[in-house]
A and B are shown apart, each in its own frame.
Chain A
Amino acid sequence: MDWTPLILSAKLAIWTMLLIPILASPMASLLAFGRFKGKSLLDAVVTLPMVMPPTVLGFALLVVMGPRGYLGGLWEDVTGNRLVFSFTGILLASLVFNLPFAVQPLRASLEKLDPRLLESAAVLGLSPLSTFFRIVLPNCMGGLAAASILVFAHSLGEFGVILMVGGSIPGQTQVASVAIFEAVEALRFDDAFRMSAALIPVCFAVLLIINKINARRA
């Protein structure tokens, strides 16, 4: 059996998990602490990928990231490469798709933070940066861990969005879920079964870890 789709899925999941805090953390803090007009609007925009059908989101991304879209056009001008049908392309799509799944747990753990802790830190003269590293981060470790692991599992199983912007290129964008779908369509049920069998224990382990983190936080 060809393991490339599974390895590619793992690569996508790991990259998404590593990069998503950069996008999600500022968004989560803004939503947890921000007092501004249009906050609920921002909240809705961030959460949208969670409720939209993945194929609809995928099609929207295909249009935006295609060479005639704003993002895709800019990308092609700067790098000379096409954004859709590339690993970078599906990674970007995966980040957008996963954003709400990282923002929500992060935001919840930030909101649970005792404001008195932050006030004391300010009174004691701690800079915002050291407040973040010495107080916010250690207190939100659980939320961050939950977010990362959820995003990891979620990108491992991602199908609709990748199907739209990926183009199923073996070794570049043909992830496990797409390969399984294709195997079933081609009546290669054995291949589909083997690939699924390899995915299930990983997803199961991820759920066990999430439960463990949640139990410790409670």
Chain B
Amino acid sequence: MKRIFSLVLVLCLLVPSGAFAADLFIAQAANFTPVMKEIIPAFEKATGLKAQATYASTGKLYGQIINDAPFDIFLAADEKRPNKLFADGLAEKPFVYAKGQVVLWSSDKNFCGDDWKATVVNDAVKRVSIANTETAPYGTSSMKAMQAVGIWDKVQPKLVFGQSISQAFQFASTGSADVGFCAYSSVFTDAGKKGCFTVVDEAPPVIQAACVLKSAPHADAAAKFVKFLATPEVQAMKLKYGYK
């Protein structure tokens, strides 16, 4: 028994960690995950470079970056944080790589129609999920839409707050919230296809900006990736998932 244990231990130590090395490290805001899963293989095919993405909330990635996380490029879900990195001299000038759209999503087909305002104020809708209005750009945008049509105060008691747009979708997709303000991209996930949605036209588009970090260990690869993001191939992938 002891011998087997030692053997396993030694084997664990011997597994080469170099096997996970990549030529480009990307910090990616979670909402863009489905598109990124298509962009990365295409980029690898086009350039022969190996890219590795970390998917987390914009706030968490920002916190890691200012604490010297070894990323090359940061694709945020907002403009605020890339701009702040630029202002603090930690990144190159930010650029917009995607524009997201807020939808009202529900697992219950009765709660979808042309008029999202009527749905959220409907008494049958007890709980409405939304991403954190302070930290999550989709949350802020959803709040602005409700304020614009004058139902914010009325809906507030029904709101449940997810830490990110994915948690807002998770609350809605488990049925815990009757409807939820979600990202258009979540509609294309397996869980998203099981429900229905209405586009929230009043919600300002969520401008997602990216920046190459000054401390990038692989600056050349990062530059190639930035170029690749502008290709028609990537444009088509973004459109497919509801981004502009």
Contact between B174 and A82, CB atoms less than 8 A apart: no
Query: In the complex the two chains form, what is the Cα distance from A62 to B59 in whole Å?
Result: 24
A65 CB, min distance to chain B CBs, angstroms? 8
B140 CB, min distance to chain A CBs, angstroms? 11
Binary per-residue interface labels of chain A (29-54) against chain B in the complex, 1 for a CB within 8 Å, 0 otherwise: 00000000000000000000000000
* Interface: A2 (CB within 8 A): no
Main secondary structure of the interface of A (DSSP, over half): loop
Number of interface residues, chain A, beta carbon within 8 A: 22
Selecting from A141-149, A180-188, A193-201, the interface stretch reads: A180-188
Residue of A nearest to B81 (CB): A187
A66 CB, min distance to chain B CBs, angstroms? 4
Contact between B176 and A84, CB atoms less than 8 A apart: yes
Contact between A85 and B135, CB atoms less than 8 A apart: no
Residue of A nearest to B126 (CB): A82
* Interface: A68 (CB within 8 A): yes
Binary per-residue interface labels of chain B (173-205) against chain A in the complex, 1 for a CB within 8 Å, 0 otherwise: 011110000000000000000000000000000
Tell me the residues in window 150-185 of chain A with beta carbons closer than 8 Å to chain B beta carbons.
Answer: 163, 167-169, 174, 181-182, 184-185
User: B interface, how many residues as a size bin?
Assistant: 20 to 34
* Interface: A71 (CB within 8 A): no
Contact between A167 and B162, CB atoms less than 8 A apart: yes
Query: In the complex the two chains form, what is the Cα distance from A61 to B57 in whole Å?
Result: 23
Known: A66-B175, A185-B57. A168 touches B160 (CB 8 A): yes
Binary per-residue interface labels of chain B (155-174) against chain A in the complex, 1 for a CB within 8 Å, 0 otherwise: 00001111100010011001
Query: Chain B residues in contact with chain A, CB under 8 A?
Result: 57, 59-60, 63, 126-127, 129, 132, 134-135, 159-163, 167, 170-171, 174-177
30 A-B contacts, Cβ less than 8 Å apart? A62-B174, A62-B176, A65-B176, A66-B175, A67-B176, A68-B174, A68-B175, A82-B126, A85-B177, A163-B163, A167-B160, A167-B162, A167-B171, A167-B176, A167-B177, A168-B161, A168-B162, A168-B163, A169-B161, A174-B161, A181-B163, A184-B59, A185-B59, A185-B60, A185-B132, A185-B135, A185-B163, A186-B59, A186-B134, A187-B59
Query: Chain A residues in contact with chain B, CB under 8 A?
Result: 59, 62-63, 65-68, 72, 82, 84-85, 163, 167-169, 174, 181-182, 184-187
